[in-house]
Protein backbone atom coordinates (compact mmCIF):
# COMPACT_ATOMS: atom_id res chain seq x y z
CA UNK A 1 0.00 0.00 0.00
CA UNK A 2 1.30 3.44 -0.92
CA UNK A 3 0.62 6.55 1.15
CA UNK A 4 1.26 10.10 -0.07
CA UNK A 5 1.84 12.89 2.41
CA UNK A 6 -0.17 16.06 1.92
CA UNK A 7 0.18 19.42 3.72
CA UNK A 8 -0.70 19.33 7.40
CA UNK A 9 0.61 15.76 7.68
CA UNK A 10 -2.80 14.43 6.59
CA UNK A 11 -2.36 11.23 4.64
CA UNK A 12 -4.80 10.43 1.88
CA UNK A 13 -4.69 7.13 0.09
CA UNK A 14 -6.68 5.40 -2.60
CA UNK A 15 -6.35 1.63 -2.66
CA UNK A 16 -7.90 -0.54 -5.36
CA UNK A 17 -9.90 -3.29 -3.66
CA UNK A 18 -12.06 -4.64 -6.48
CA UNK A 19 -13.49 -3.41 -9.76
CA UNK A 20 -16.36 -1.93 -7.77
CA UNK A 21 -14.84 -0.58 -4.56
CA UNK A 22 -12.15 1.78 -3.39
CA UNK A 23 -10.84 2.27 0.13
CA UNK A 24 -10.09 5.91 0.84
CA UNK A 25 -8.72 7.71 3.87
CA UNK A 26 -11.57 9.87 5.18
CA UNK A 27 -11.41 13.64 5.41
CA UNK A 28 -11.00 14.26 9.14
CA UNK A 29 -10.26 17.95 8.76
CA UNK A 30 -7.26 20.16 9.43
CA UNK A 31 -7.02 19.37 13.15
CA UNK A 32 -6.33 15.65 12.66
CA UNK A 33 -2.89 14.45 11.57
CA UNK A 34 -2.74 10.89 10.24
CA UNK A 35 0.71 9.35 10.15
CA UNK A 36 2.08 6.17 8.59
CA UNK A 37 5.48 4.51 9.14
CA UNK A 38 6.52 5.85 5.72
CA UNK A 39 5.95 9.47 6.77
CA UNK A 40 9.35 11.13 7.31
CA UNK A 41 10.11 11.36 11.03
CA UNK A 42 11.05 15.02 10.67
CA UNK A 43 7.64 15.79 9.17
CA UNK A 44 5.82 14.03 12.00
CA UNK A 45 7.97 15.63 14.68
CA UNK A 46 7.44 19.10 13.24
CA UNK A 47 3.66 18.63 13.29
CA UNK A 48 3.71 17.30 16.87
CA UNK A 49 5.98 20.11 18.07
CA UNK A 50 3.83 22.76 16.40
CA UNK A 51 0.67 21.55 18.12
CA UNK A 52 2.40 21.25 21.48
CA UNK A 53 3.76 24.79 21.22
CA UNK A 54 0.18 25.99 20.87
CA UNK A 55 -1.37 23.61 23.44
CA UNK A 56 1.29 23.38 26.16
CA UNK A 57 -0.23 26.17 28.28
CA UNK A 58 -3.55 26.72 26.47
CA UNK A 59 -5.80 25.63 29.33
CA UNK A 60 -8.89 27.44 28.04
CA UNK A 61 -7.97 27.92 24.39
CA UNK A 62 -10.16 27.04 21.38
CA UNK A 63 -7.78 24.72 19.54
CA UNK A 64 -8.45 20.94 19.44
CA UNK A 65 -6.13 18.29 17.96
CA UNK A 66 -5.73 14.57 17.34
CA UNK A 67 -2.75 12.55 16.12
CA UNK A 68 -3.65 9.20 14.58
CA UNK A 69 -0.95 6.60 13.89
CA UNK A 70 -1.49 3.82 11.36
CA UNK A 71 -0.08 0.42 12.38
CA UNK A 72 3.70 0.20 12.36
CA UNK A 73 6.79 1.41 14.21
CA UNK A 74 7.72 5.02 14.99
CA UNK A 75 10.57 6.78 16.75
CA UNK A 76 9.32 10.12 18.07
CA UNK A 77 9.07 12.51 21.00
CA UNK A 78 5.33 12.99 21.63
CA UNK A 79 4.42 15.54 24.31
CA UNK A 80 0.64 15.69 24.83
CA UNK A 81 -0.78 19.12 25.57
CA UNK A 82 -4.25 20.45 26.35
CA UNK A 83 -7.14 19.18 24.18
CA UNK A 84 -4.88 16.69 22.41
CA UNK A 85 -5.56 13.03 21.70
CA UNK A 86 -2.97 10.51 20.52
CA UNK A 87 -4.35 7.24 19.15
CA UNK A 88 -3.18 4.12 17.36
CA UNK A 89 -5.27 2.73 14.54
CA UNK A 90 -4.42 -0.96 14.83
CA UNK A 91 -6.46 -3.94 15.96
CA UNK A 92 -4.43 -4.08 19.19
CA UNK A 93 -2.18 -1.62 21.03
CA UNK A 94 0.88 -3.59 19.91
CA UNK A 95 0.03 -3.00 16.24
CA UNK A 96 1.17 0.64 16.62
CA UNK A 97 4.46 1.04 18.46
CA UNK A 98 6.21 4.29 19.40
CA UNK A 99 9.79 4.18 20.65
CA UNK A 100 10.80 7.40 22.33
CA UNK A 101 9.20 9.80 24.73
CA UNK A 102 5.41 9.86 24.90
CA UNK A 103 4.70 12.05 27.89
CA UNK A 104 2.43 14.46 29.73
CA UNK A 105 4.24 17.19 31.65
CA UNK A 106 2.96 19.32 34.51
CA UNK A 107 1.07 22.35 33.21
CA UNK A 108 1.86 24.56 36.21
CA UNK A 109 5.09 25.73 37.82
CA UNK A 110 7.02 23.74 40.43
CA UNK A 111 6.16 20.42 38.75
CA UNK A 112 2.53 20.96 39.73
CA UNK A 113 0.17 18.88 37.58
CA UNK A 114 -3.07 19.72 39.41
CA UNK A 115 -4.35 21.68 36.37
CA UNK A 116 -3.10 19.23 33.74
CA UNK A 117 -6.50 18.47 32.19
CA UNK A 118 -8.12 17.34 28.89
CA UNK A 119 -5.76 14.99 27.07
CA UNK A 120 -5.74 11.29 26.19
CA UNK A 121 -3.82 8.35 24.77
CA UNK A 122 -5.49 5.23 23.38
CA UNK A 123 -4.62 2.00 21.57
CA UNK A 124 -0.86 2.00 21.03
CA UNK A 125 2.30 0.72 22.68
CA UNK A 126 5.25 2.74 23.97
CA UNK A 127 8.87 1.83 24.64
CA UNK A 128 10.17 4.81 26.68
CA UNK A 129 13.70 5.91 25.79
CA UNK A 130 14.90 5.90 29.40
CA UNK A 131 12.63 3.06 30.48
CA UNK A 132 10.00 5.26 32.15
CA UNK A 133 7.00 7.06 30.68
CA UNK A 134 5.87 10.22 32.53
CA UNK A 135 2.11 10.75 32.80
CA UNK A 136 1.77 13.70 35.21
CA UNK A 137 -1.96 14.38 35.04
CA UNK A 138 -5.13 15.34 36.84
CA UNK A 139 -8.81 15.29 35.86
CA UNK A 140 -10.26 14.58 32.39
CA UNK A 141 -7.18 12.69 31.27
CA UNK A 142 -7.45 9.06 30.18
CA UNK A 143 -4.97 6.31 29.46
CA UNK A 144 -6.93 3.57 27.66
CA UNK A 145 -6.06 0.39 25.82
CA UNK A 146 -2.32 1.00 26.11
CA UNK A 147 0.81 -1.13 26.46
CA UNK A 148 3.75 0.47 28.25
CA UNK A 149 6.93 -1.55 27.64
CA UNK A 150 8.66 -0.14 30.70
CA UNK A 151 7.69 1.83 33.80
CA UNK A 152 5.04 4.50 34.27
CA UNK A 153 5.09 7.47 36.68
CA UNK A 154 1.93 9.44 37.42
CA UNK A 155 3.61 12.66 38.58
CA UNK A 156 6.48 14.97 37.63
CA UNK A 157 9.41 14.91 40.06
CA UNK A 158 6.96 14.36 42.94
CA UNK A 159 5.08 17.58 42.30
CA UNK A 160 1.38 17.42 43.10
CA UNK A 161 -1.04 15.71 40.74
CA UNK A 162 -4.77 15.39 41.33
CA UNK A 163 -6.27 12.25 39.91
CA UNK A 164 -6.53 10.25 36.78
CA UNK A 165 -7.84 7.23 34.93
CA UNK A 166 -6.29 4.06 33.54
CA UNK A 167 -8.25 1.25 31.85
CA UNK A 168 -7.54 -1.76 29.63
CA UNK A 169 -3.83 -0.95 29.98
CA UNK A 170 -0.79 -3.17 30.55
CA UNK A 171 2.44 -1.83 32.10
CA UNK A 172 5.37 -4.27 31.84
CA UNK A 173 7.23 -2.62 34.71
CA UNK A 174 6.32 -0.57 37.78
CA UNK A 175 3.62 2.06 38.15
CA UNK A 176 4.63 4.78 40.61
CA UNK A 177 1.70 6.95 41.70
CA UNK A 178 3.96 9.05 43.93
CA UNK A 179 2.23 12.30 44.84
CA UNK A 180 -0.99 11.53 42.98
CA UNK A 181 -3.77 12.49 45.38
CA UNK A 182 -6.22 9.91 44.00
CA UNK A 183 -6.44 7.46 41.10
CA UNK A 184 -8.64 4.77 39.58
CA UNK A 185 -7.31 1.80 37.62
CA UNK A 186 -9.92 -0.43 35.95
CA UNK A 187 -9.16 -3.67 34.11
CA UNK A 188 -5.44 -2.96 33.95
CA UNK A 189 -2.30 -4.85 34.96
CA UNK A 190 1.37 -4.28 35.75
CA UNK A 191 4.42 -5.94 37.22
CA UNK A 192 4.26 -3.83 40.39
CA UNK A 193 2.69 -0.68 41.87
CA UNK A 194 4.24 1.75 44.34
CA UNK A 195 2.76 4.83 45.96
CA UNK A 196 -0.35 5.87 47.84
CA UNK A 197 -1.84 9.12 49.01
CA UNK A 198 -5.53 9.79 49.71
CA UNK A 199 -7.67 7.44 47.65
CA UNK A 200 -6.45 4.78 45.20
CA UNK A 201 -9.03 2.43 43.68
CA UNK A 202 -8.38 -0.80 41.75
CA UNK A 203 -11.29 -2.54 40.00
CA UNK A 204 -10.77 -5.69 37.97
CA UNK A 205 -6.98 -5.51 38.45
CA UNK A 206 -5.30 -8.95 38.68
CA UNK A 207 -2.24 -7.76 40.61
CA UNK A 208 -3.19 -4.85 42.86
CA UNK A 209 -0.59 -3.64 45.37
CA UNK A 210 -0.41 -5.24 48.78
CA UNK A 211 -2.33 -3.69 51.64
CA UNK A 212 -5.83 -2.47 52.30
CA UNK A 213 -7.69 0.64 53.39
CA UNK A 214 -7.06 2.68 55.45
CA UNK A 215 -3.27 2.18 55.52
CA UNK A 216 -2.36 2.18 52.70
CA UNK A 217 -5.49 3.84 51.24
CA UNK A 218 -6.14 1.09 48.69
CA UNK A 219 -9.66 0.03 47.72
CA UNK A 220 -9.69 -3.23 45.78
CA UNK A 221 -12.62 -4.79 43.93
CA UNK A 222 -11.57 -8.08 42.35
CA UNK A 223 -13.96 -8.16 39.39
CA UNK A 224 -15.52 -5.43 37.28
CA UNK A 225 -19.21 -6.32 37.42
CA UNK A 226 -20.31 -4.97 34.04
CA UNK A 227 -18.47 -2.83 31.50
CA UNK A 228 -18.09 -1.96 27.84
CA UNK A 229 -14.74 -0.57 26.79
CA UNK A 230 -14.69 2.73 24.89
CA UNK A 231 -15.07 2.57 21.09
CA UNK A 232 -11.93 3.22 19.05
CA UNK A 233 -10.87 3.76 15.43
CA UNK A 234 -9.29 0.92 13.45
CA UNK A 235 -7.77 0.76 9.95
CA UNK A 236 -7.10 -2.62 8.37
CA UNK A 237 -4.42 -3.60 5.86
CA UNK A 238 -6.69 -2.62 2.97
CA UNK A 239 -7.20 0.86 4.41
CA UNK A 240 -10.78 0.19 5.47
CA UNK A 241 -11.65 2.55 8.32
CA UNK A 242 -14.12 1.60 11.04
CA UNK A 243 -15.21 2.28 14.59
CA UNK A 244 -14.79 -0.78 16.76
CA UNK A 245 -17.37 -1.13 19.54
CA UNK A 246 -16.24 -3.58 22.26
CA UNK A 247 -18.90 -5.94 23.55
CA UNK A 248 -20.46 -5.76 26.99
CA UNK A 249 -18.57 -7.94 29.51
CA UNK A 250 -19.41 -9.08 33.03
CA UNK A 251 -17.29 -10.04 36.04
CA UNK A 252 -13.94 -9.41 34.38
CA UNK A 253 -10.34 -8.85 35.40
CA UNK A 254 -7.38 -7.64 33.36
CA UNK A 255 -7.08 -6.24 29.84
CA UNK A 256 -9.15 -7.28 26.83
CA UNK A 257 -6.62 -7.41 24.02
CA UNK A 258 -3.64 -9.65 24.91
CA UNK A 259 -5.38 -12.92 25.68
CA UNK A 260 -5.31 -15.94 23.36
CA UNK A 261 -8.85 -14.95 22.37
CA UNK A 262 -9.25 -11.14 22.62
CA UNK A 263 -12.66 -9.77 23.53
CA UNK A 264 -14.83 -9.36 20.41
CA UNK A 265 -16.18 -6.08 19.10
CA UNK A 266 -18.83 -4.81 16.69
CA UNK A 267 -17.56 -3.14 13.52
CA UNK A 268 -19.15 0.06 12.23
CA UNK A 269 -17.86 0.83 8.71
CA UNK A 270 -17.36 4.44 7.70
CA UNK A 271 -20.24 4.09 5.25
CA UNK A 272 -22.48 4.12 8.34
CA UNK A 273 -20.75 7.12 9.91
CA UNK A 274 -21.23 10.82 9.32
CA UNK A 275 -17.97 12.75 9.78
CA UNK A 276 -18.76 16.09 11.41
CA UNK A 277 -16.69 19.24 10.98
CA UNK A 278 -17.05 22.21 13.34
CA UNK A 279 -16.50 24.81 10.62
CA UNK A 280 -19.71 23.97 8.75
CA UNK A 281 -21.84 21.49 10.70
CA UNK A 282 -24.69 22.75 12.87
CA UNK A 283 -27.14 21.12 15.24
CA UNK A 284 -29.57 20.92 12.31
CA UNK A 285 -27.16 19.12 9.97
CA UNK A 286 -26.04 16.73 12.70
CA UNK A 287 -29.60 15.97 13.79
CA UNK A 288 -30.56 15.24 10.21
CA UNK A 289 -27.83 12.62 10.04
CA UNK A 290 -28.82 11.13 13.40
CA UNK A 291 -32.46 10.96 12.29
CA UNK A 292 -31.38 8.94 9.25
CA UNK A 293 -29.64 6.42 11.51
CA UNK A 294 -26.05 7.57 11.02
CA UNK A 295 -23.41 7.35 13.70
CA UNK A 296 -21.40 10.52 14.33
CA UNK A 297 -17.64 11.00 14.34
CA UNK A 298 -17.00 14.54 15.58
CA UNK A 299 -13.65 15.86 14.39
CA UNK A 300 -11.75 18.20 16.73
CA UNK A 301 -13.16 21.66 17.31
CA UNK A 302 -15.98 23.54 19.03
CA UNK A 303 -19.53 22.89 17.86
CA UNK A 304 -21.85 25.82 18.54
CA UNK A 305 -25.31 24.33 19.09
CA UNK A 306 -28.57 26.27 18.98
CA UNK A 307 -30.48 23.10 19.86
CA UNK A 308 -29.47 19.77 21.37
CA UNK A 309 -28.08 16.87 19.40
CA UNK A 310 -30.86 14.27 19.56
CA UNK A 311 -29.73 10.65 19.59
CA UNK A 312 -32.89 8.65 18.98
CA UNK A 313 -31.90 5.39 17.29
CA UNK A 314 -30.75 2.34 19.29
CA UNK A 315 -27.06 1.35 18.98
CA UNK A 316 -26.00 4.82 17.75
CA UNK A 317 -22.39 5.79 18.49
CA UNK A 318 -21.34 9.43 18.91
CA UNK A 319 -17.54 9.51 19.11
CA UNK A 320 -15.45 12.67 19.49
CA UNK A 321 -11.84 13.07 18.41
CA UNK A 322 -9.43 15.50 20.06
CA UNK A 323 -11.87 16.63 22.75
CA UNK A 324 -14.55 17.72 20.31
CA UNK A 325 -16.55 20.27 22.29
CA UNK A 326 -20.31 20.83 22.36
CA UNK A 327 -21.26 24.39 23.30
CA UNK A 328 -24.98 25.18 23.68
CA UNK A 329 -25.72 28.81 22.82
CA UNK A 330 -29.42 29.37 23.53
CA UNK A 331 -30.03 27.87 26.96
CA UNK A 332 -30.57 24.49 25.33
CA UNK A 333 -29.15 21.10 26.20
CA UNK A 334 -26.04 20.02 24.33
CA UNK A 335 -27.25 16.44 23.80
CA UNK A 336 -30.24 14.25 24.65
CA UNK A 337 -30.88 10.57 24.04
CA UNK A 338 -33.92 8.37 23.68
CA UNK A 339 -34.55 5.62 26.20
CA UNK A 340 -33.08 3.10 23.75
CA UNK A 341 -30.68 0.17 23.82
CA UNK A 342 -26.97 0.45 23.17
CA UNK A 343 -26.48 4.19 22.61
CA UNK A 344 -22.82 5.09 23.17
CA UNK A 345 -21.37 8.56 23.78
CA UNK A 346 -17.58 8.87 23.96
CA UNK A 347 -14.78 11.43 23.89
CA UNK A 348 -16.73 14.67 24.29
CA UNK A 349 -16.27 17.90 26.25
CA UNK A 350 -19.53 19.68 27.10
CA UNK A 351 -18.93 23.40 27.71
CA UNK A 352 -21.90 25.32 29.18
CA UNK A 353 -23.03 28.49 27.42
CA UNK A 354 -23.68 31.88 28.96
CA UNK A 355 -27.46 31.42 28.82
CA UNK A 356 -28.51 28.96 31.52
CA UNK A 357 -29.24 25.45 30.28
CA UNK A 358 -31.60 23.55 32.61
CA UNK A 359 -29.68 20.39 31.69
CA UNK A 360 -26.57 19.91 29.55
CA UNK A 361 -26.78 16.19 28.75
CA UNK A 362 -29.92 14.13 29.38
CA UNK A 363 -29.75 10.35 29.09
CA UNK A 364 -33.31 9.23 28.42
CA UNK A 365 -36.27 11.57 28.83
CA UNK A 366 -37.92 12.18 32.19
CA UNK A 367 -39.95 9.14 33.16
CA UNK A 368 -37.83 6.62 31.24
CA UNK A 369 -38.67 3.13 32.38
CA UNK A 370 -37.34 0.56 29.87
CA UNK A 371 -34.74 -1.97 31.01
CA UNK A 372 -31.39 -2.13 29.17
CA UNK A 373 -29.36 -4.67 31.14
CA UNK A 374 -28.50 -6.66 28.01
CA UNK A 375 -27.40 -3.62 26.03
CA UNK A 376 -27.11 -0.51 28.20
CA UNK A 377 -26.50 3.05 27.20
CA UNK A 378 -22.86 3.89 28.00
CA UNK A 379 -20.80 7.07 28.38
CA UNK A 380 -17.00 7.05 28.11
CA UNK A 381 -14.72 10.04 28.72
CA UNK A 382 -17.60 12.51 28.76
CA UNK A 383 -16.44 15.71 30.46
CA UNK A 384 -18.35 18.83 31.52
CA UNK A 385 -17.23 22.39 32.19
CA UNK A 386 -19.20 25.36 33.53
CA UNK A 387 -17.08 28.51 33.28
CA UNK A 388 -13.33 28.83 32.85
CA UNK A 389 -13.26 29.59 29.12
CA UNK A 390 -16.00 32.18 29.70
CA UNK A 391 -19.22 32.52 31.65
CA UNK A 392 -21.21 29.28 31.67
CA UNK A 393 -24.45 28.41 33.43
CA UNK A 394 -26.32 25.16 33.97
CA UNK A 395 -28.96 23.70 36.24
CA UNK A 396 -27.96 20.03 35.98
CA UNK A 397 -24.89 18.99 34.02
CA UNK A 398 -25.65 15.29 33.52
CA UNK A 399 -29.10 13.80 34.14
CA UNK A 400 -29.44 10.02 33.82
CA UNK A 401 -33.02 8.80 33.50
CA UNK A 402 -32.44 5.52 31.63
CA UNK A 403 -32.10 2.34 33.66
CA UNK A 404 -28.87 0.29 33.51
CA UNK A 405 -26.77 3.18 32.16
CA UNK A 406 -22.98 2.76 32.41
CA UNK A 407 -20.65 5.72 32.94
CA UNK A 408 -16.99 4.95 32.32
CA UNK A 409 -15.04 8.02 33.46
CA UNK A 410 -16.42 11.53 33.73
CA UNK A 411 -15.29 14.86 35.18
CA UNK A 412 -18.15 17.27 35.84
CA UNK A 413 -16.54 20.60 36.75
CA UNK A 414 -17.83 23.98 37.74
CA UNK A 415 -14.66 25.97 37.15
CA UNK A 416 -12.80 27.36 40.16
CA UNK A 417 -10.43 29.44 38.02
CA UNK A 418 -10.32 31.02 34.56
CA UNK A 419 -12.75 33.50 33.02
CA UNK A 420 -16.32 34.03 34.14
CA UNK A 421 -15.75 32.45 37.55
CA UNK A 422 -17.61 33.54 40.68
CA UNK A 423 -20.46 32.52 42.97
CA UNK A 424 -22.90 34.68 40.99
CA UNK A 425 -21.29 34.11 37.56
CA UNK A 426 -20.73 30.49 36.61
CA UNK A 427 -23.91 29.07 38.05
CA UNK A 428 -24.38 25.31 38.35
CA UNK A 429 -26.77 23.64 40.76
CA UNK A 430 -25.89 19.95 40.40
CA UNK A 431 -23.16 18.03 38.63
CA UNK A 432 -24.95 14.69 38.33
CA UNK A 433 -28.56 13.64 38.97
CA UNK A 434 -29.37 9.92 38.63
CA UNK A 435 -33.04 8.98 38.36
CA UNK A 436 -32.62 5.66 36.56
CA UNK A 437 -32.29 2.31 38.31
CA UNK A 438 -29.27 -0.01 38.18
CA UNK A 439 -26.88 2.74 37.04
CA UNK A 440 -23.17 1.87 37.40
CA UNK A 441 -20.37 4.47 37.35
CA UNK A 442 -16.60 3.98 37.28
CA UNK A 443 -14.38 7.02 37.84
CA UNK A 444 -16.79 9.73 39.02
CA UNK A 445 -15.13 13.14 39.41
CA UNK A 446 -17.60 15.95 40.31
CA UNK A 447 -16.51 19.33 41.66
CA UNK A 448 -17.54 22.80 42.87
CA UNK A 449 -21.27 22.85 42.05
CA UNK A 450 -23.45 25.03 44.24
CA UNK A 451 -25.80 22.42 45.70
CA UNK A 452 -25.47 18.60 45.71
CA UNK A 453 -22.53 17.59 43.55
CA UNK A 454 -24.28 14.21 43.07
CA UNK A 455 -27.97 13.53 43.75
CA UNK A 456 -28.86 9.85 43.38
CA UNK A 457 -32.60 9.13 43.25
CA UNK A 458 -32.59 5.78 41.43
CA UNK A 459 -32.39 2.44 43.20
CA UNK A 460 -29.54 -0.09 43.00
CA UNK A 461 -26.88 2.39 41.91
CA UNK A 462 -23.15 1.64 42.18
CA UNK A 463 -20.12 3.92 42.15
CA UNK A 464 -16.51 2.75 41.93
CA UNK A 465 -14.27 5.72 42.86
CA UNK A 466 -15.53 9.20 43.67
CA UNK A 467 -13.49 12.40 43.86
CA UNK A 468 -15.05 15.72 44.74
CA UNK A 469 -13.94 19.14 45.85
CA UNK A 470 -16.97 21.02 47.13
CA UNK A 471 -17.27 24.66 46.01
CA UNK A 472 -14.44 27.00 46.97
CA UNK A 473 -16.46 30.16 46.83
CA UNK A 474 -19.61 30.23 49.02
CA UNK A 475 -19.30 33.76 50.43
CA UNK A 476 -21.29 33.02 53.60
CA UNK A 477 -22.79 30.06 55.44
CA UNK A 478 -26.24 31.58 54.93
CA UNK A 479 -26.10 31.09 51.15
CA UNK A 480 -24.55 27.65 51.55
CA UNK A 481 -27.03 25.75 53.72
CA UNK A 482 -29.36 22.98 52.57
CA UNK A 483 -31.55 23.04 55.70
CA UNK A 484 -31.87 25.17 58.86
CA UNK A 485 -29.69 22.76 60.84
CA UNK A 486 -27.44 21.56 58.00
CA UNK A 487 -24.42 23.49 56.79
CA UNK A 488 -23.78 23.19 53.08
CA UNK A 489 -24.99 20.62 50.59
CA UNK A 490 -23.61 17.09 50.86
CA UNK A 491 -21.24 16.25 48.04
CA UNK A 492 -22.80 12.80 47.48
CA UNK A 493 -26.50 12.59 48.34
CA UNK A 494 -28.53 9.39 48.17
CA UNK A 495 -32.26 10.17 48.35
CA UNK A 496 -34.28 8.96 51.33
CA UNK A 497 -36.45 6.81 49.05
CA UNK A 498 -33.50 4.66 47.90
CA UNK A 499 -33.28 1.18 49.46
CA UNK A 500 -30.21 -0.26 47.64
CA UNK A 501 -27.01 1.62 46.84
CA UNK A 502 -23.29 0.83 47.12
CA UNK A 503 -20.11 2.83 46.61
CA UNK A 504 -16.37 2.16 46.96
CA UNK A 505 -13.46 4.57 47.39
CA UNK A 506 -14.76 8.10 47.98
CA UNK A 507 -12.80 11.29 48.68
CA UNK A 508 -14.46 14.62 49.47
CA UNK A 509 -12.33 17.73 49.97
CA UNK A 510 -13.01 21.28 51.16
CA UNK A 511 -11.03 24.31 49.99
CA UNK A 512 -13.14 27.18 51.29
CA UNK A 513 -11.77 30.60 50.38
CA UNK A 514 -14.04 32.52 52.78
CA UNK A 515 -13.92 32.07 56.58
CA UNK A 516 -16.58 30.41 58.75
CA UNK A 517 -18.07 28.22 56.02
CA UNK A 518 -18.56 24.53 56.82
CA UNK A 519 -20.10 21.38 55.39
CA UNK A 520 -22.04 19.23 57.88
CA UNK A 521 -21.86 15.94 55.93
CA UNK A 522 -19.63 15.03 53.01
CA UNK A 523 -22.04 12.19 52.19
CA UNK A 524 -25.73 11.86 53.12
CA UNK A 525 -27.58 8.54 52.81
CA UNK A 526 -30.66 6.84 54.24
CA UNK A 527 -29.93 4.32 56.97
CA UNK A 528 -30.91 1.07 55.23
CA UNK A 529 -29.31 -2.38 55.30
CA UNK A 530 -28.60 -2.38 51.56
CA UNK A 531 -27.13 1.13 51.39
CA UNK A 532 -23.41 0.52 51.93
CA UNK A 533 -20.34 2.73 51.55
CA UNK A 534 -16.75 1.47 51.61
CA UNK A 535 -13.50 3.40 52.17
CA UNK A 536 -14.15 7.12 52.57
CA UNK A 537 -11.88 10.08 53.31
CA UNK A 538 -12.42 13.79 53.86
CA UNK A 539 -9.65 16.37 53.54
CA UNK A 540 -9.60 20.07 54.41
CA UNK A 541 -7.16 22.24 52.47
CA UNK A 542 -6.23 25.85 53.18
CA UNK A 543 -7.29 26.94 56.68
CA UNK A 544 -10.94 27.98 56.44
CA UNK A 545 -13.98 26.04 57.57
CA UNK A 546 -13.99 22.30 57.06
CA UNK A 547 -16.18 19.17 57.00
CA UNK A 548 -17.86 18.09 60.23
CA UNK A 549 -18.69 14.46 59.36
CA UNK A 550 -17.81 11.98 56.63
CA UNK A 551 -21.23 10.33 56.17
CA UNK A 552 -24.41 11.43 57.93
CA UNK A 553 -23.31 12.05 61.53
CA UNK A 554 -20.53 9.44 61.41
CA UNK A 555 -16.84 10.18 60.98
CA UNK A 556 -14.55 12.68 62.67
CA UNK A 557 -14.31 16.29 61.52
CA UNK A 558 -11.49 17.49 59.35
CA UNK A 559 -8.89 19.73 60.94
CA UNK A 560 -7.51 22.33 58.54
CA UNK A 561 -5.32 24.56 60.59
CA UNK A 562 -1.79 24.01 61.84
CA UNK A 563 -0.09 22.52 63.71
CA UNK A 564 -1.60 19.25 62.47
CA UNK A 565 -4.04 18.67 59.61
CA UNK A 566 -6.39 15.74 60.16
CA UNK A 567 -7.87 13.83 57.23
CA UNK A 568 -10.47 11.46 58.72
CA UNK A 569 -11.12 8.07 57.14
CA UNK A 570 -13.94 5.57 57.48
CA UNK A 571 -13.82 1.98 56.24
CA UNK A 572 -17.49 1.00 56.26
CA UNK A 573 -20.94 2.53 56.62
CA UNK A 574 -23.21 1.62 58.20
CA UNK A 575 -20.95 0.63 61.06
CA UNK A 576 -22.18 -2.01 63.52
CA UNK A 577 -23.28 0.72 65.92
CA UNK A 578 -25.19 2.77 63.34
CA UNK A 579 -26.77 -0.30 61.75
CA UNK A 580 -28.53 -1.17 65.00
CA UNK A 581 -30.03 2.26 65.57
The residue among 432, 440, 528, 516 whose CA lies nearest residue 481 is 516
For residue 464, the surrounding DSSP H or E stretch is: strand 461-469
Sign of CA dihedral 268, 270, 271, 272: positive
568, 553 contact by CB (below 8 A): no
Q: CA angle at residue 437 from 402 to 430, to 5 degrees?
A: 75
C-alpha span between 503 and 466 (Å, rounded): 8
β-pairing, 481-483 with 486-487?
Answer: antiparallel
Distance CA 499, CA 223 (A): 24
Nearest to 518 by CA among 468, 480, 555: 480
Q: How many CB atoms lie within 10 A of CB 226?
A: 19
Tell me the chain's radius of gyration from C-alpha atoms: 23
- Mode of pairing for the β-strands spanning 273-276 and 14-16: unpaired
Query: Does the active-site annotation cover 469?
Result: yes
DSSP-derived secondary structure letter, 231: P
* Closest by Cα among 273, 278, 323, 2 to 139: 323
Catalytically annotated residue among 234, 399, 469, 524:
469
Strand runs labelled E in 222-374: 224-228, 232-235, 241-246, 248-252, 265-269, 273-276, 295-298, 302-305, 309-311, 317-328, 335-337, 344-351, 357-363
C-alpha dihedral sign at 462, 483, 387, 183:
negative
Q: Comparing C-alpha atoms, which of 540, 542, 545, 541 is closest to residue 516? A: 545
List the catalytic residues.
469
Amino acid sequence: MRFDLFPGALLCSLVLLSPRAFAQTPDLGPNVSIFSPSTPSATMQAAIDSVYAAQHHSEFGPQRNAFLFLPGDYNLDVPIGFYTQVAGLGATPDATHISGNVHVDAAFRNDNATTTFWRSAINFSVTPTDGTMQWAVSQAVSLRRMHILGNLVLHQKHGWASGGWMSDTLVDGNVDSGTQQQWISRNSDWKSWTGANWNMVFVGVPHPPAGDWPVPPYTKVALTPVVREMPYLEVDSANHWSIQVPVLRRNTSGVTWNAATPAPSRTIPFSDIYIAHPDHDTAATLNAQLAHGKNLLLTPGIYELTEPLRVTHPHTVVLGLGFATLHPTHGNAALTTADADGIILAGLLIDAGEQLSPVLVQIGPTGSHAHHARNPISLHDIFFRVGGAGIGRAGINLEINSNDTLVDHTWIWRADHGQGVGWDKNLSRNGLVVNGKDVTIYGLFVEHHQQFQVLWNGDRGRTYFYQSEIPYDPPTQAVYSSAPSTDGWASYKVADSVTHHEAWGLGVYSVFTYPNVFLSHAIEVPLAPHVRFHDMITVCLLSNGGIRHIIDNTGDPTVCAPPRRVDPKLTLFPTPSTATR
